[in-house]
Structure 1
Amino acid sequence: MSSYQQTKTSGTGMLATMAMLSLTLMGLGSNAITPALATLAAQFPNQDVSFIQTVATLSMMAGSLIAGAVMGKKIKTKTLAILGSILCLIFGILPVFMNSYALILVVRLVFGFTMGLIAPLGNALIMIYFQGNKRATLIGVGTFAMNIGGIAFQMLAGVLADISWNLAFLGHIFFAIAVIMSLFLPDEELEVVRNTDKKIQPKEKLNVRTVLLIGILMMVFQACNLSVMMNASTLYEVRNAGGATVAAIALTAFSVTGMFAGLLFGVLFKHIKRAMFLMAFGCVAFGAGIIFMGQTAVIMGIGYGLIGIGFNWQFAAFTEWVGIATPPSTIGIGTSIILAFMNLGGFVSSFWMILLGYNLTKILLSDVILCSVFAIGLFIANPFKGGAQQSKMNCT
């Protein structure tokens, strides 16, 4: 019987680190068409166009789980990143040449799966190759990069959607960056380790209960919060605040504020671990409340900006929680599992909106209530209690 283990054969120089961050740059690629949903609804008036976005998040779940299971074991992480990025580029822009709603859904399903293959790799590699404050800082920088990508994806998609609905999918051209940068990821060899009569160290086990808890929390939050994000263009139209381009600007505010929030995460997490979730979900709740009350593009843009801060802090904090709670050799699969649950939440968001009857008031208020509960509950529970000691144990 044989198993596989990852043997690192190269260091993590500046170029390799940038390559890892380039994968996080693609993190919001599945949301690229969000500003164009109202335009797509006009093109397909008898269809629920939210599924064009959320069907990709469903298949991302499967892709993420497979990536976590095979990265560094069955296939080199570098090879997986290159292959996944190429497929994301191809299937991301393919709907530009289609007019069938059903066919677009099929292509988006495949796109989501390929997106899932690369989604966990950036943060997983950061947590494998770095420790302590350096790791927290790079996770924060990763969210910074993710939001830069989000700005590029959404702004281009929003502008192109105002020209022609199908051109919105051309925004996925940015995956070409990941294709090129993946060539510079740390190289590794897959070494077959055969069982012998010699005494071997017990295999490190994934902290399944904690990882599943984190995944479920992320799934519930994503289902509720993504509903607010996907209704941005509708909110702006209903309130006569602008079209797809203006909605794209609001979603860009989400990415810009989240970008700088990511840069601050490492410093904040070092000093206020316990309050991290309180601040994160508090920002989302406050932002959703401002959008609920606001009637102008500027006010609603401020609300989306606050959601951007909170979203990125909660994502980075949940990622750190995985790194603290589970041994280093299981971080890859742990990260993949929580991303799979988060993507499942994205798919569930369509059904959540259906359940609420697409009532914008209910959608916004449910986000306020849920995030308030999460903020207070996680502050009281303090999941990072004793995290420093546990992190040290995981590194031994």
Structure 2
Amino acid sequence: MSSKRKIILMIAVLCTALPDIGAGTATPAIALVAKAMPDVNKSLIQMIVSIPSVCLIFFPPVYAALTRYVKKKKLLLLAFILMLAGSIGPTIFNDIYLILACRFIMGCGNGIIMPITIDLIIDMYEGHERQSMLGYAAAVTSIGGILFQVLGGVMGSINWHYCFLATCVSVPCYLFALIFLPDVPIPVSDEGSRKFEVRKCMKPSLLFLGGFMIVWEMMYFVFLTNISLYLVNAGIANAAQVGVITSTVTVGGMIMSVLYGPIVRVFHEKVLPFAYLVTACGFLVICLGHTALVMGMGALLIGIGYGISAPCQLNLASNLIPREYASVATSVCYTARGIGGFVSPLVITAVCAAAGTAQEVFPFRLAAGVLAVFGVLMIVYLRKMRIKINT
């Protein structure tokens, strides 16, 4: 393959890594939507943000099954149509239930697009190239998250309907991907069958990794769901400073995602426990800090940990089962992340209630302790698997 063709292929694959996972475009305009619908229950309005993320729990397994019968390029086209319909619909309707239905449609599209990016990388790249591409994809997703939030806020300030259209900025990217991506053949097993063999794809090692990812995402969402209220209520930072602190996580994750390939080639399997422990240190800094600057340093450490762990866990999952079942590994990872993000507020609230403590700094202490313990458990897990992450 010529160098020009390689560059075009790389751009086409990375163009699929720009999905808005549901929160990005709508979050900045939620207050405006609530103001425009004063008679609608606030929990229903908040579901505008949560429904696409909940779809991430259920749809990746459906995607994995579809890959046995439908080519991934056709699935990408289907996802593109679903996302476009789910983005345009809320600009037309004023009924909350119709808007939520559109967000569900968009969530189904997300449930296809997010795992398909990783699948394409696994299909088309090997070794060090795969490592670098996984990192680049995570970085592009981070850039997309920033872009969608900014555009959603700006367009929502004009009219709350318009915030949903911010996702349409990715249309040229998906068109580029559909034009230049090759038609990857439908994978078959060694016996020539397209049917799933549960014993081959649902190995205990993969399910254990899924458990790690559920816990990881639960603890990561402790930061996303609690940091703003904690900093403002404690008088540590104002709203503008909170915005800068939370964006530091994205910046840290983006930088480490770009550097992920070289890092994993040096540290091999040690990089994943390191990511857990660095994130635990980030939460510890937040627990001990009393200034916005220190909080920003803690957020940066959390972003560094996330930027390493996200591509690393996906690559590890793909190495645990036969290559023709890579779609299953990807769907397990994204389903685990969806579950972790969804149950995080519920679990943290229950733990705080059981401990009889206010939900202030305690969730951050809990996250620091849990991630430190699971960082050690990850060392044991990797030794048991005897697998190098850079393979």
Q: TM-score category by the smaller chain?
A: 0.7 to 0.9
Residue equivalent to 1:8: none
The one-letter amino acid of 2:8's match is: L
How far has the Cα of 1:316 moved from its partner? 1.3
Q: Write the mapping of 1:198-277 to structure 2, written as runs, cut at 5 A.
A: 200=191, 205-239=200-234, 241-243=237-239, 247-277=242-272
Residue equivalent to 2:281: 286
Residue equivalent to 1:366: 366
**Contact kept? 1:137, 1:265, Cα under 8 Å:** yes
Residue number among 16, 24, 36 corresponding to 2:9 in the alignment = 16
**Contact kept? 1:35, 1:233, Cα under 8 Å:** no
**Contact kept? 2:225, 2:345, Cα under 8 Å:** no
How far has the Cα of 1:379 moved from its partner? 2.2
Residue number among 63, 74, 77 corresponding to 2:69 in the alignment = 74
CA distance in 2, matches of 1:213, 1:232: 29
Q: How high is the TM-score relative to the length of structure 2?
A: 0.82
Residue equivalent to 1:174: 169
Q: How high is the TM-score relative to the length of structure 1?
A: 0.81
Q: Write the mapping of 1:157-196 to structure 2, written as runs, cut at 5 A.
A: 157-160=152-155, 167-188=162-183
How far has the Cα of 1:232 moved from its partner? 4.2
Find the residue that maps to 1:66 and give its secondary structure.
helix
Find the residue that maps to 1:74 and give its secondary structure.
coil
CA distance in 2, matches of 1:344, 1:165: 29
1:57 lines up with 2:57 in the alignment: no
How far has the Cα of 1:176 moved from its partner? 1.6
The one-letter amino acid of 1:54's match is: S
The one-letter amino acid of 1:69's match is: A
Q: Write the mapping of 1:108-127 to structure 2, written as runs, cut at 5 A.
A: 108-127=103-122
Give deviations 1:143-163, integer Å, cap 9, x for gaps: 121111122122333455666
Residue equivalent to 1:32: 24
How far has the Cα of 1:12 moved from its partner? 7.0
Which stretch of structure 1 is more off in the superposition, 167-176 or 97-106? 97-106
CA distance in 1, matches of 2:30, 2:302: 21
The one-letter amino acid of 1:300's match is: M
Residue equivalent to 2:309: 314
CA distance in 2, matches of 1:284, 1:101: 38
Which stretch of structure 1 is more off in the superposition, 103-112 or 257-266? 103-112
The one-letter amino acid of 1:292's match is: C
Residue equivalent to 2:79: 84
Give deviations 1:12-58, integer Å, cap 9, x for gaps: 732222121122232x5333158538837974795346544333222
**Bigger proportion of residues as helix:** 2
CA distance in 1, matches of 2:95, 2:211: 34
CA distance in 1, matches of 2:158, 2:219: 31
Which stretch of structure 1 is more off in the superposition, 53-62 or 142-151? 53-62
**Contact kept? 1:29, 1:172, Cα under 8 Å:** no
Give deviations 1:317-347, integer Å, cap 9, x for gaps: 1112112211111111211121112112222
**Contact kept? 2:230, 2:361, Cα under 8 Å:** no
* RMSD over equivalenced CA pairs, Å: 3.5
Give deviations 1:119-146, integer Å, cap 9, x for gaps: 1011111112111111111111111211
The one-letter amino acid of 1:276's match is: V
CA distance in 2, matches of 1:129, 1:12: 13
